[in-house]
Amino acid sequence: MTAYIIRRLLLLPLILFGVTLIIFSFTEILGPEKMLSAYVNPNMFDKLSNEDLDKLIEQYGLNDPMWTRYFKWIGGVLKGDLGWSVTAKQPVADAIKERIPYTIELAMYAFIPVVIVGIWLGVVAAVNRDKFIDHFIRIFAIIGWSLPDFVFGLIVLMFFYSVLGWFPPGTLSGWAEEIVKSGEFHRFTKILTIDALINGRLDIFWDALRHLIGPILTISWLWWAYLLRITRSSMLEVLGKEYVRTARAKGVPEKEVIHKHAKKNAMIPVVTVAGAMVIGLLAGTVIVEVIFNRIGMGRFTAQAATQLDYAAILGSTLFYSTLLVIGNLVIDILYAILDPRIRLG
């Protein structure tokens, strides 16, 4: 186990090197002036003459070979310099730092109902195999997995906001946003709901939570469908094992057979999927944040793409890629710890 973990950790820098190289190679289709935005605020371009621009291009070596420019860019990344974002009108690194807490908050609140409801539905479907409740849950899963999240998000927004007026889009109401931006509200964690509780502002906590319910419901539908299918398949496999049949033959109560013997062992692949789901929740909020007009990394990335914000796209892609690589490493290690039968070659 220790040797496996060390090998994976040693490979991590090489994988990240390959990821950054692939990301940077896409810049080859851009001209030097577009690449200059990674180093200089593009709003200054109009004030510069063609000679000044040529000097800056020469200064930053944007006419140099790709390898030379790549190592210069990596040097800036290692120092925390990801360039200037036209979209956010601030350095890319600062823009990412400001928006990460909002995406983490959304993923955090979505993860809890997804896991609880998804596992519960999967277990119920497996225990009641081929009965009405099993068929109903499977239809629910098929619809959830087939329906695009942007379509379901628009349905949620239309019904719960336009018709009922319950869960508005955005991050906060106007009055709450004014209080949060004032000096009397302290941002300890940068996560609105947690900071609201620390500040003793239950009204802001409820307002922030009310704005989260629509996006959470949209995200949860898709992941409920996925998780319950995995749980159901795993439970059916375990329920057919010999030790489960033996427990039943000995007269062990059915609830004990399911929850003590079957469910525990069926959770190993589910835990792995849940780990991957965390990465998916953090990296897959682009459409949801755009539909519900929420501040976050997803919306920032979408805006950067539509405005051809080269530096922001590069920084966002690097962030998501690093998250995915490190997350998969953690999942592999946890899977090996949870299931000793796995051979770590």
Q: How far is CA 25 from the centre of its chain?
A: 24
> What are the sequence ranges of the domains in the chain?
1-87, 91-342
Distance, in Å, from the CA atom of 94 to the CA atom of 90, rounded to the nearest integer, reads: 7
- To the question of pTM greater than 0.85 for the whole model, the response is no
Top-confidence range, 13-17, 38-42, 51-55? 13-17
Q: What CATH number should be reported for the domain whose range is 91-342?
A: 1.10.3720.10
Both tokens of residue 76? 């800036």
pLDDT of 87 above 90: no
Distance, in Å, from the CA atom of 312 to the CA atom of 26, rounded to the nearest integer, reads: 14
Q: How far is CA 338 from the centre of its chain?
A: 24
Both tokens of residue 85? 């974002």
Question: How do residues 270-279 score in pLDDT, each as one tens digit?
Answer: 777 777 777 7
For range 75-100, the mean pLDDT: 86
Question: How do residues 107-149 score in pLDDT, each as one tens digit?
Answer: 888 888 888 888 888 888 888 888 899 899 888 888 877 888 8
Q: How far is CA 49 from the centre of its chain?
A: 42
